[in-house]
Chain A
Amino acid sequence: MRILAPFKLAARALRRNKMRSLLTMLGVIIGVGSVIASVSITTGASKQVEDKVASLGQNVVTVFSGNFTSGGMRGGWGSAPTLTVEDTTAIKNEVANVVAVSPEVRDRMQILANGLNWNTQIQGESPDYPQIRDWDIANGAMFTDADVRSIAKVAVIGKTVVDQLFINQDPVGETLIIRNIPFKVVGVLESKGFNLFGQDQDDIVIIPYTSHMRRITKRIFVNSIMVQAASKDAINQVQDDITTLLRDRHKSAEQDFTVRTQLELMAMATSTTRIMSVLLGAIASVSLIVGGIGIMNIMLVSVTERTREIGIRMAVGARGRDILIQFLIEAVTLSAVGGIMGIALGMAAAKITSHFTGWPTLTPYAWIGIACVSSAGIGIVSGFYPAWKASRLDPIEALRYE
C-alpha cells in the first residue's frame, strides 16, 4: 500500500462521521487542553517566583536571628535579637569566599519631605548592600564606608518614596526628615518591583546601619546579616562556615540563628507550584486516559460497523496488516487532530486566564512536543486492539456479515 493512501482513507472515514469523530476527539481535546493550560499556568507562576528569588541578589546567604529550623517557630525571622555588628565583621574577615556583607536593621516609620509625609521602611545597611542585592543606583551614588564610620545623616531612597515625596523633582541633594532628624538624599535606587511576598521593594529608605542604630533607634543587635558568596559553588561552603563561626561566637547551648541560602529560598518558594503542577498533571493524565478509552470504544464500533467493508477489501487482496494499518491510522488521526486542537485550546485558555487574573503564563515548547507525542501515542495504544481485531477477520465471514 502506498504511504499516503491510508491517510486518505482515514481522513475520508472520519469525515463521513463528522459529529461522531468530533465527540470522540473531545476527550483528547479536553485532556491535552487541560495539560497545556495547567502547565502554562504553573510554569508562568514558577518562572515568576524564580525571577523574584533571583531579584534577591547574587549568590546571597542570609543570616537571621533566632532558630526556626528546630524547636518550632520563635516569632518569625529576625525577631529574637542575637546578631551583632561584630558578627558581621567576623564573617567578613574569617569566612573564605565572602565578597560582601551588610548588617541589616529595619523599622517602619513616618518620614517627611516637602511638607508631605509617608510611612515607609527605614533600613540600615552597609555600602555593600546594592552590590549584594544586584541593585543599581539610578541617580546619585550609594553612601560610603566613611559615612558609616561618621554616622552620617545620608539616605538612598527607592522609587516609590520618590514618587510620594518628590513629585516632579530630582531628590538628590534634598532633605528628608526621619524622627525629626534631617537626612540628605544622596542617591535613588532603580525600580525593583514587588518581592516574593508581594511587598513593594521600592518603598524603602536606606541609611548607614550606624546611623540607624545610634541616631534613630538605640539598639545593639541587628535583624539579619546579608552575605554575598564569591560564586554559586561557594554558597554551601559559606553557609557551613558561617554556621560554625557563629556557633563558636555565640556559645549558646541551642543554635540561636539561622543561615539561609538563596538556593534554599528558591526551593521553598517553588515547592508549592511544583505540587500544584504534579496535581494538575495527574488530573490531566486521567482525562487523557479517558480520551483514549473513548477512541478505543468508537474504533471497536467502527470495526463492527465496517465488517463488510473489511471483508470486501480482504477479498480483493488486502492483507491483515493493510487493514491493521488502515484502522490504526484512523485512530492516530483522531487523537492527533484532537491533540493539536487541544494544544490550541489549552494555550487559548491560558491566555484568557492570564488576561483576567493577571497571572503570567508560559507554554514551554517541550510540553507542546510532549502533548503531540502523547496524543499520537494514545491513538496507537487505544487503536491497536480494534485494528488488530479487524485484521484478524476471516474474509468470507466478514463478507457474510449483515
Chain B
Amino acid sequence: MQPVIKLAEIHKVYHTGEVDVHAVRGVSLDILPGEFVAVMGSSGSGKSTLMNMIGCLDRPTGGTYFLDGLDVSTLDRDQCAKIRNAKIGFVFQGFNLLSRTTALENVEMPMLYNHAHLPAAEQKKRAQNSLELVGLAQRADHKPNQLSGGQQQRVAIARALVNQPSLLLADEPTGNLDSQTSIEIMGVFQKLNDAGITIVMVTHELDIARYTRRTVILRDGKILTDEPVRDRLNAETELKNLKQAQEAVRLA
C-alpha cells in the first residue's frame, strides 16, 4: 500500500535574527491510509512545525515530502491551497476560528474556496451535518466568544471535516480541555478513523495517545520512538466508566 504521508530526512530551520533555530532535524516517517497516529514530545520539540509541513502550510528547508505520492516541493502556492482545501482537514493548536462569525459560517468557510462550488443551501446542510458530528448542532448560531473552549475546539474540528478530507491533522485537539470533553473528542476521532480517515494528532497527554493506534515521540526535532499502541482505549467505554465514577461520587 502506498503511504499517504512519506517524509524523508525532513529538516526545518527558522532563521530568526542572529540564531538559526533548527526545529526539525531529519524526520523520516511513513504513514499508511487508515492509520491513527499520535505525535508526542515535550514543548518545543518541533511537533507543530512538523504538522504544518505535513499540512502543506509550511515548506521544509531540507528533505522530501510525498503526499499521496506527490512531491509537495514541486507544488506552487495555489496548488498547495487546493490540497489544503480538498484533501486535508487541519485542526489548529489555537483553534483559529473567525471571530464575530457564527459557528455555522466558520464551518462553511472552507466550502467557499472549494472548486466543487456547491449551492448555498447544500453548503449550509453540510456544515450543519458536520457540526452534528461533533455534537454541536444546537450552537450553530453562536459566535466563538459565546462558546466554551471545548465547544470552539469542536467547531474547529467540524470545519476541518466539512470538505470530507481523507487526511485529518490535529494539533493538540484536546489541549486545555477537561478529561470528559477530551474523551468525547477522541470518540469522534475514533469514529472517523473507523470510517477510513487517516488521522495524525499531536498531544502531550499519554492517556490521550492511548486512543490512537501508533505513537511517534519527538525529541529536539528528531524521532525518538515510533511504536504501535498496545492497550488501546475505546472512547465509548471510557466515557461510560467516567460517568459511572461521577455517579458514584455523587451518591457517596
Contact = CB atoms under 8 A, between A and B. Distances in A.
Nearest to A5: B112
Interface string B74-94: 000110011011100010100
A16 to B, nearest CB: 7
State which size class the interface on B falls in: 20 to 34
A396 interface: yes
Interface in A308-350: 308-309, 311-322
B77 A320 contact: yes
Contact of B113 (A16, A308, A316, A395): A316
Nearest to A316: B110
B240 interface: no
Nearest to A392: B77
A399 B96 contact: yes
Nearest to B120: A2
B98 A395 contact: no
A396 B52 contact: yes
Given A309-B98, A312-B98, A396-B52, A319 B57 contact: no
A1 B96 contact: no
A314 B85 CA distance: 9
A224 B197 CA distance: 101
A311 B57 CA distance: 10
A312 B84 CA distance: 11
A1 B100 contact: no
Q: Is chain A's binding surface mostly helix, strand, loop or mixed?
A: helix
Contact of A2 (B78, B97, B117): B117
B58 interface: yes
B109 interface: yes
A316 B57 contact: no
B222 interface: no
Interface string B143-181: 000000000000000010001000000000000000000
B113 A1 contact: yes
A317 B78 contact: no
A312 B106 CA distance: 10
Contact of B81 (A16, A309, A312, A314): A314
Contacts of B78: 319-321
Given A1-B112, A1-B113, A2-B117, A317 B82 contact: yes
Nearest to A391: B77
A309 B144 CA distance: 14
Interface in A280-327: 308-309, 311-322
A316 B58 contact: no
A64 to B, nearest CB: 75
29 contacts: A1-B112, A1-B113, A2-B112, A16-B100, A308-B96, A309-B98, A312-B96, A312-B97, A312-B98, A312-B109, A314-B81, A315-B84, A315-B90, A316-B85, A316-B159, A317-B84, A317-B86, A317-B113, A317-B114, A317-B163, A318-B81, A318-B85, A319-B77, A319-B82, A319-B113, A320-B77, A320-B78, A396-B58, A399-B96
Interface of A: 1-2, 5, 16, 308-309, 311-322, 395-396, 399
